[in-house]
């Protein structure tokens, strides 16, 4: 357990960052409920869902590498991380084309602007965390057999699970809220 504590405390701190953003978003959503539901339809539901599956699977691989003491699973997890980023890239690209990605808004109502602002900001921040996570997994892979580095693999794993967890909140709050409210 020795040196995992720092990571846990750090993650508590990270949680406050995403926590406050998700809180802000929820307040905004309450004030513009219908508009947000409508705007949610403009996100790529399929992309979001596939990404959710990808991230959950990668988390599973990370856990497996810990249980089976096999660093190859880390590679699989990293590959899935890269796939996640690529899919997000496509999604961002499409939204930009449609004038719905921050910095490139075209004729949106104020509620829509707000929805896509939050979407852009939160997912981008999450994406940064995914990238850092991939680097950490890479470092863990690299140092896997180094007897001095007992902690890194486990800490990288914790971080990855956290990044996954955050996505589990982002996904319904952005992609699913409009599902039962037709367009």
Residues near other proteins (CB under 8 A) are 2-3, 5-6, 9-10, 12-14, 16-17, 20-21, 24, 27-28, 31-32, 102-103, 109-111, 113-114, 117-118, 121
CA gap 124, 144 in Å, rounded:
30
Q: How far is the CB of 29 from other proteins (least distance, A)?
A: 11
Nearer to other proteins, 119 or 141 (CB): 119
Q: How far is the CB of 152 from other proteins (least distance, A)?
A: 13
Contact between 152 and 139 (Cβ < 8 Å) = yes
Q: How far is the CB of 5 from other proteins (least distance, A)?
A: 5
Q: How far is the CB of 128 from other proteins (least distance, A)?
A: 12
- Spatial CA neighbour of 125 closest among 37, 20, 40, 32: 20
Nearer to other proteins, 6 or 89 (CB): 6
DSSP 103: T
Contact between 91 and 49 (Cβ < 8 Å) = no
From the number of C-beta atoms within 10 Å of its C-beta (0-12, 13-18, 19+), residue 69 rates as: exposed
CA dihedral defined by 26, 172, 7, 4, rounded to 10 degrees? Answer: 140
Nearer to other proteins, 14 or 75 (CB): 14
């Amino acid at each position: 357990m020795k040196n995992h504590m720092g990571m846990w405390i750090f993650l508590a701190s990270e949680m406050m960052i995403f926590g406050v953003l998700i809180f802000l978003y929820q307040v905004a959503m309450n004030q513009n409920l219908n508009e947000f539901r409508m705007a949610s339809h403009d996100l790529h539901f399929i992309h979001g869902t596939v990404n959710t599956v990808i991230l959950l699977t990668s988390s599973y691989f990370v856990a497996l590498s810990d249980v089976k003491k096999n660093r190859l699973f880390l590679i699989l997890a990293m590959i899935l991380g890269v796939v996640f980023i690529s899919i997000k890239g496509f999604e961002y690209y499409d939204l930009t084309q449609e004038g719905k990605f921050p910095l490139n808004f075209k004729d949106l109502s104020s509620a829509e602007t707000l929805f896509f602002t939050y979407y852009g900001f939160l997912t981008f921040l999450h994406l940064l965390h995914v990238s850092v996570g991939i680097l950490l997994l890479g470092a863990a892979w690299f140092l896997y057999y180094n007897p001095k580095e007992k902690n890194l693999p486990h800490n990288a794993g914790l971080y990855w699970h956290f990044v996954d967890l955050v996505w589990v909140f982002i996904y319904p709050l952005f992609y699913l809220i409009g599902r039962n409210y037709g367009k």
